[in-house]
Amino acid sequence: MVKLESLLCPTPAGLYCPPGDFYIDPVRPVPRAVITHGHSDHARAGHGDVAATPQTLDIMACRYGDDFATRRVALAWGETLSRDGVDISLAPAGHVLGSAQAVIRWKGVTAVVSGDYKRRRDPTCQRFEPVPCDLFVTEATFGLPVFRHPDAADEVARLLRSVERFPERTHLVGAYALGKAQRVIALLREAGWDRTIHVHGALLALNALYGRHGVDLGPIAPAGDAAGKLPGEIVLCPPSALADRWSRRFADPVSAFCSGWMRVRARARQRGVELPLVISDHADWDELTKTLAELSPGEVWITHGREEALLRWCELRGQPARALALVGYEDDAE
Amino acid sequence: MRAFARLLDDLSFTASRNAKLRLVRDFLAEQPDPDRGWALAALTGSLSFSAAKPAAIRKAVEARMDPVLFGWSYDYVGDLAETVALVWPARPGANREPDLAEVVEALRTATRGQVQPMIEGWLDALDADGRWALLKLLTGGLRVGVSSRLAKQACADLGGVAAPEVEEVWHALTPPYGDLFAWLEGRSARPSADTPGRFRSVMLAQALDEAVDFARLSPDDYLAEWKWDGIRIQAVSERGERRLYTRTGDDISHTFPDVLEAMTFEGALDGELLVMRDGVVGAFGDLQQRLNRKTVDAKLLKAFPAGIRAYDLLLDGEEDLRGLPFTERRKRLESFVSAAKSHRIDLSPLQPFETWEQLATLRAAPPEGDPRIAEGLMLKRRDSLYEAGRPKGPWFKWKRDPHLVDAVLMYAQRGHGRRSSFYSDFTFGVWREDAAGDRSLTPVGKAYFGFTDEELKQLDKFVRDNTVERFGPVRSVKANRDFGLVLEVAFEGLQRSTRHKSGVAMRFPRISRIRWDKPSRDADELATLERMLETP
């Protein structure tokens, strides 16, 4: 069998595949890139060829403009692209709309680069698909046993309970603009919240994009257009807007923040969050370890996050693993 | 347990007092007996279990998971109960979730050997929030920002009664407070408050408004005494029960064994708890050494001996004096204190005066001795009965004018809750000259009130426009000789402090004026502050 390092190797620009001459989620402009999903630390503008799912390409165009790359190569689920004897295909990663794992096959060896992923149900994107492989390259954003995300539906129920308890206040929910916001809206709809959801301007374009890809988010209105202070209503905004002057227009807002980091009280307090909602689009500790146990690949590489604990877990199980310590990915953003 | 866990969780993130009151009141209204009673006991600090030790809990978790992974988790989270709650490995098909009452009742009767397996069984059955609540309950100190006063207020809100009514019966009640809820919900009469050693709701004074009150009040109707700078207490010794209460009815007897021992009388005194050395009063800082301690050692008792300076008598033997006029009670108090014959109990002397002008002179320049460190004066109408609460008219407090200092804004921190979009906590400094003759600012205090909403907006804008550096939620603000915002800071007292770089610590600082007009280089010097230091 060929050495795994000759198929994939970490470089300052990102994970590189020498025989296929392409990078996966490069952090610098490169001639050929495979992009797993649209979050800005993984999908950057300025590459030559960009291969990704049609949804991811759409997201990149929406964020960076139509000229974000020289050429786009849309890969539907299961479709294969061959480059100098290397076969590349994409499998759903369950992280955000269009998020994929890069499946790379060369000389009988299969490597899977997970990008960011989660295993739980999410009404706004396709569910993670395990792909048997020799090498599994995993993230470890929540790679500590303290991170065990509760059921997202229960967290949304907590939000609705708070709205009921404080009907004179606006509930201002901080959620990242790509993926988290749409998932929270979809979960609110599933929980029966059919009122108009007011959103910060920064969320409008991506909400519309989700709509074009068949994700129905129900009635949405820009919060800026609202006449009153929106007591009793739910308003979504990017996390940075929670403590921004923008938030002062609302009625004594209850600030809620959706993130896996909210599991730890000190993190929630640091941000001055009144209603922390543990809703994450990353795998928690149990999902990370269950996935490794399920795939049981010949080798595990860990790209970014809290790799030491996951390495320790692999070591205890006799699972060969190493940390790549790739730079450029945000450990804390979620 | 689930509802209790949710309550603790919500409370721990809620800053506003009103929102907290609503959370507690709703919980008490919705939860059944005896769960809500045990929860109330936990919130008011009336529950403690000695059988559960943090070390044993740590051992249990390390038996179930890799100690290295646990160690890293603990390092990351920083709180043992929270870490254990989060990492405890779930056990599918574990037992039914326990009720709060079940947990409390089991712990109260369990022996040390029985406790550990019980706790592990509960941890298996609960989710992360439930485990956290259980561990907080076990290890004491919920630390969710609820005082027992707030909990009692929530009870009062539940029953639509005034808080003193709850405080008065409180010490006659025991958890899980079935009789209290029956009364609050109108299902039975108010429980009897007639237990020996109970708390009696205190009478509070209004702040004097010099501009209005002197014109309409006659000095002949009032008696004056110093307003001592300790904490208000009620010392009750009744049919063998001795208790020391704060003015909100919290029982602090165990912290002051020296005072308790001196309470050989039969009755209830109202007075000030102070550090007293041979009849000379210590500064508030001395008393602080004695407050909020779980245990007191001999060294502390010797270095900071506590005593009571008495100013009212509520109960003399078995006779309730609260219906008598102040002058009558005062006479009884004087003979009561001299009969007590203790160096730990003395009398707060009256200060004779004839005109308001005379009193003002006295307040401005107190005589040598204890009055120098008094907080100001108290005025009590001669005919005033002892009424619970803060009635308008009979008692006034006339505090000394605060100290004022002009300081320069140095750092600002984001507020919480309603103020989370504002930089509302301000650190300010004064000028200090070093050995080389260079002047630099040294922080001397922090204040987060005293300004209006409109002023807060202006301060917030100033901070945003003049930020030099950011450290998380804190910004440092441009402040040098030529540029800076001067704040007039009012405070009650100044003490030496080894914990602060400047060597001084302010008591009760607040922003009294924003000096947009004053150049930063004209702000005060540290030397000015040092001259104000209290010398006890």
pLDDT tens readout for residues B121-147: 999 999 999 999 999 998 877 788 888
Shared-domain flag, residues A21 and A103: yes
pLDDT at B494: 86
pLDDT score for B195: 83
**Do the chains contact at A316 and B66, CB–CB below 8 Å?**
yes
Contact between A258 and A188 under an 8 Å Cβ cutoff? The reply is no
Least Cα separation, residue A248 to chain B (angstroms): 7
Q: Does B26 touch chain A (CB under 8 A)?
A: yes
Q: Are residues A46 and A173 in the same domain?
A: no
> Are A160 and A273 in a shared domain?
yes
- Chain B residue whose CA is closest to A253: B418
Smallest Cα distance from B501 to chain A, Å: 25
Q: In the prediction, which pLDDT does B145 show? A: 82
Strands of B421-473, DSSP E: 423-433, 439-447, 467-471
For domain B403-532, give its CATH number from 2.40.50.140, 3.30.1360.70, 2.60.120.10, 1.10.3720.10: 2.40.50.140
Mutate to test the interface with A, among B70, B420, B454, B458 (most CBs of A within 10 A): B420
Tell whether A243 lies on the interface with B, counting CB pairs under 8 A: yes
Give the pLDDT confidence score for residue B434 in this predicted structure: 85
Tell me the angle at which helices B17-30 and B148-159 cross, rounded to the nearest 10 degrees.
60
| B86/A145 touch (CB, cutoff 8 Å), yes or no | yes
Question: Choosing from B20, B152, B227, B478, which is the catalytic residue?
Answer: B227
Answer yes or no: is pLDDT of B535 > 60: no
Residue B387: other Cβ atoms inside 10 A: 16
Domains of chain A: total = 2
**Residue B419: per-residue pLDDT:** 80
pLDDT at position A82, please? 95
Task: State whether A145 and B127 contact (CB < 8 Å).
Answer: no
CATH number of the domain to which A44 belongs: 3.60.15.10
Among residues of chain B, what percentage have pLDDT more than 70?
98
Name the minimum distance, in Å, from the CA of A269 to any CA of chain B: 7
Which of B18, B65, B69 is the best substitution to test chain A (most A C-beta atoms within 10 A)?
B69
Whether chain B has a CB inside 8 Å of the CB on A312: the answer is: yes
* 8 Å CB contact between A91 and A131: yes
- Per-window interface: B 120-159 vs A, CB < 8 A: 127-128
Whether A274 sits inside 8 A of B77 (CB atoms) is no
Binned at pLDDT 50, 70 and 90, residue B415 comes out as: confident
Residue B50 has pLDDT above 80, yes or no: no
- List the single residue in A145, A148, A266 with the smallest CB-CB distance to B69: A145
Contacting residues for A40 by C-beta, under 8 A, at least 6 apart: A63
Q: How far apart are CA B514 and CA B455, in angstroms?
A: 8
**Inter-chain residue contact B420 with A243, CB threshold 8 Å:** yes
How far CA A257 is from CA of A161, A304, B96, B110, in Å, comes to 15, 23, 31, 41
In Å, the largest CA–CA distance within chain B is: 80
Torsions phi, psi for A61 (to 5 deg): -65, -40
Question: DSSP per residue over B175-218, as a string?
Answer: TT-HHHHHHHTTSSPPPP---TT---PPB-PEEP-HHHHHHH--
* Shortest CA distance from A240: residue in chain B: B421
Average pLDDT over residues B233-244: 95
State residue B534's pLDDT score: 62
Q: What is the reported pLDDT for B245?
A: 94
**Beta pairing class for B423-433 and B439-447:** antiparallel
Q: State the CATH number of the domain containing residue A173.
A: 3.40.50.10890
**Residue A33 shares a structural domain with residue A51:** yes
Q: Which residues pair with B242 in a beta bridge?
A: B237
Task: Pick the residue of A159, A265, A278, A313 with the most B CBs within 10 A to test the interface with B by mutation.
Answer: A265
Contact B87 A166 (CB under 8 A): no
**Residues with pLDDT less than 70, chain A:** 1, 327-328, 330-334
Based on the number of CB atoms within 10 Å of its own CB, is B437 exposed (0-12), middle (13-18) or buried (19 or more)?
exposed
Task: Look at residue A129 and tell me if it is in a domain.
Answer: yes
Chain B positions touching A141 (Cβ under 8 A) are none
CA atoms within 13 A on the CB side of A161: 14
Report yes or no on A333 lying in a domain: no
A138 and A29, same structural domain?
A: yes
pLDDT grade for B94, boundaries at 50, 70 and 90 = low
pLDDT at site B536: 44
Beta carbons of B128 and A312 less than 8 Å apart: no
> What does the pLDDT average to over B334-350?
96
Q: Which residue out of B6, B9, B24, B86 would a mutagenesis test of the A interface target, given it has the greatest number of A Cβ atoms within 10 Å?
A: B86
**B37: confidence class by pLDDT, cuts 50, 70, 90:** very high
Of B23, B76, B416, the CB nearest to A272: B416
Mean predicted confidence (pLDDT) in B415-420: 76
Quick check: is B227 catalytic? Answer: yes
Q: Taking CA atoms, what residue in B is nearest to A276?
A: B13
Cβ pair B370, B145 in contact under 8 A: no
Distances (CA, A) of A82 to A49, A79, A93, B415: 14, 10, 21, 56
**pTM as predicted:** 0.79
Q: What ipTM was assigned to the predicted interfaces of this complex? A: 0.93
Strands B280-281 and B306-316: unpaired
How many A/B residue pairs have CB atoms within 8 Å? Answer: 79
pLDDT tens for residues B463-511?
999 999 988 789 999 999 999 999 999 998 888 888 888 888 898 899 9
Given CB atoms, is A255 within the 8 Å cutoff of chain B?
yes
CB contact under 8 A, A272 and B26: no
pLDDT recorded at residue A243: 85
A165 touches chain B (CB under 8 A): yes
A268 and A306 share a domain?
no
Question: In CATH terms, is domain B206-398 a member of 3.30.43.10?
Answer: no
Residues of chain B with pLDDT > 90, as a percent, come to: 67
- Distance between B484 CA and the closest CA of chain A, angstroms: 23
Chain A residues 263-292 with CB within 8 Å of chain B: 263-266, 268-270, 272-276
Structural domain includes residue A206:
yes
Domain shared by A81 and A114, yes or no: yes
Q: B442 pLDDT exceeds 70?
A: yes
Q: How far is A276 from chain B (nearest CA, A)?
A: 8
Token readout for A302 is: 């860990």
* pLDDT tens readout for residues B53-90: 788 888 889 999 999 999 999 999 988 999 999 999 87
Provide the pLDDT for residue A150. 94
**Nearest-Cα residue of chain B relative to residue A162:** B10
Phi, psi of A64 (to 5 degrees): -110, -5
Residue B369 has pLDDT above 70, yes or no: yes
Backbone dihedral angles phi then psi of residue B131, each to the nearest 5 degrees: -65, -40
Which is more confident, B195 or A18?
A18
**SS3 assignment, position B345:** strand
Report CB contact under 8 Å: A145, B418.
Answer: no
pLDDT at B342 over 90: yes
Q: Give B88's DSSP letter.
A: S
Minimal Cα–Cα distance from A295 to chain B, Å?
22
d(CA A288, CA A139): 8
Q: Are residues A215 and A164 located together in one domain of the fold?
A: yes
Distance from CA of B479 to the nearest CA of A (A): 24
Q: Cβ(A290)–Cβ(A119) under 8 Å? A: yes
Do A161 and A258 have their domain in common? yes
Q: Is the pLDDT of residue B171 over 90?
A: no
C-alpha distance from B28 to closest chain A C-alpha (Å): 14
What's residue B213's pLDDT? 92
DSSP-based three-state secondary structure for A145: coil
What local confidence, expressed as pLDDT, does residue B516 receive?
93
A214 CB contacts (<8 Å, ≥6 apart)? none
Domain boundary assignment for chain B: 2-139, 206-398, 403-532
CB A197 within 8 A of CB A218: yes
Q: CATH code for B2-139?
A: 1.10.3260.10
- Decide if A19 is inside a domain: yes
Is the pLDDT score of B313 beyond 70? yes
Which pLDDT belongs to residue A334?
Answer: 66
**Domain annotation covers residue A329:** no
Determine which of B9, B13, B465 to mutate to test the interface with A (most A C-beta atoms within 10 Å): B13
A252 and B418: CB-CB below 8 Å?
Answer: yes
Q: Which of A146, A166, A270 sits opposite B76 (nearest CB)?
A: A146
Task: For residues A66 and A139, state if they share a domain.
Answer: yes
Helix axes B163-170, B148-159, angle to 10 degrees: 120
Q: Which of B65, B79, B127 lies closest to A145 in CB terms?
A: B65
**Structure confidence at residue B51 (pLDDT):** 66
Domain containing residue A262: 152-277
Q: What does the alpha-carbon distance between residue B477 and residue B423 come to, in Å, rounded to a whole number?
A: 11
Q: Contact A243/B14, CB-based, under 8 Å?
A: no
A34 and A118 in a single domain? The answer is yes
- The CA distance from B512 to B403, in Å, is 11
Give me chain B's average pLDDT, please.
91
* Alpha-carbon gap, residue B126 to B96, rounded angstroms: 8
Q: Using CB atoms, pick whichever of B70, B86, B416 lies closest to residue A148.
A: B86
In a domain, A331, yes or no: no
> Over the stretch B219-231, which tens digit does the pLDDT of each residue have?
999 999 999 999 9
B102 touches chain A (CB under 8 A): no
Q: Enter the tokens of residue A125.
A: 């994107």
Nearest to A309 among B26, B69, B421 (CB): B69
